[in-house]
Amino acid sequence: MRLAGAIDIGGTRTKIGVVGEDGSVLTHGAVRTSTDGEPAPLVDAIVAALQPMVANRSVSGIGVSVAGFLDHERGAMIGNANLPALCGFPLRRTLEERLGRDCRLEVDSNASTVAEYRFGAGRGSARLLGIAVGTGVGGGVLLGGKLQRFTGECAGDLGHVVVTPKGRRCTCGALGCLEAMVCSAALSERAGGRSVSEVVKGARKGDPHCLDALTETGWWLGLGLASLSPLFGPDRIVIGGGVAVAGEYLLEPARMSYGVHAGDDLKKRVQIVGSSFDGWEGMIGAASLFLEPE
């Protein structure tokens, strides 16, 4: 079985591992996405964690999923308010030099959507919209199996559609972006400062504060999806990312909100489903850069 190394750089955590051509994760780990204003600490941590994983394996290359816009050559990130230290940094070239292997970069929302299309909840979709909800919010679009690249080598900054003019201040500077209303920080605030994992655990135990926090977050998510759907006309929307580990506690209120805000045609034909990969979809999609079917 062909293998590829994978790196998924998120706003808070960077996931690392080795993935097989069938989408299976053979080994994985994570490091904190710490830049301290400079890229070097993050690169050092990635190399230290990944080198032992690939040292005794024949890997086709290293796929890298990055939370931000990429330049046209896909060699560097050019925009992300949550990771300013990586903007303009020659990430692909640096990782190739440090790891001694070919590397390819992809926008994280694209990578996640590809993983769902090839191996997960997006299989069989003709018009797939993938949304990743975590430290930030991003989206990828596949039409007939082909990624759409409008801005920054992706479908654009879908998380920054404004859903309320009086909402939270977003890291981009605007008020009431979808990202600002549904990201992990927003969920944590609604739950009195508890982390995402604590909120999910609390919801499973029936804690009303945690359930209310997820319900409100899901309501804003559904509104955002209803706003995006007329642009892309999806037949299926897959929700992934760190906040999506809440599963139906998040998805059910999102579906209800979508039903309130979406047009009649969209309500009838659009499915909203959760990711199949428990947060590892970005890494699996990154590996797919080297593991496309032959």
Domain assignments of the chain as residue spans, ordered by start: 3-110+281-287, 123-274
28 closest CA partner among 1, 4, 2: 4
Structure tokens belonging to residue 154: 């992706």
DSSP state at residue 179: H
What is the per-residue pLDDT across 33-51, written as a single tens digit (0 to 9) for each? 876 678 999 999 999 999 9
Same topology for domains 3-110+281-287 and 123-274, yes or no?
yes
Q: Which residues are CB-contacts of 2 (< 8 A; sequence separation ≥ 6)?
A: 20, 21, 60, 290, 291
- Check whether domain 3-110+281-287 has CATH 3.30.420.40, yes or no: yes
Give me the pLDDT at residue 126, please.
97
Q: Bridge-partner residues for 127, per DSSP?
A: 143
Alpha-carbon Rg for the chain in angstroms = 18
What is the per-residue pLDDT across 152-204, written as a single tens digit (0 to 9) for each? 999 999 999 999 999 999 999 999 999 999 999 999 999 999 999 999 999 99
What homologous superfamily does CATH list for 123-274? ATPase, nucleotide binding domain (3.30.420.40)
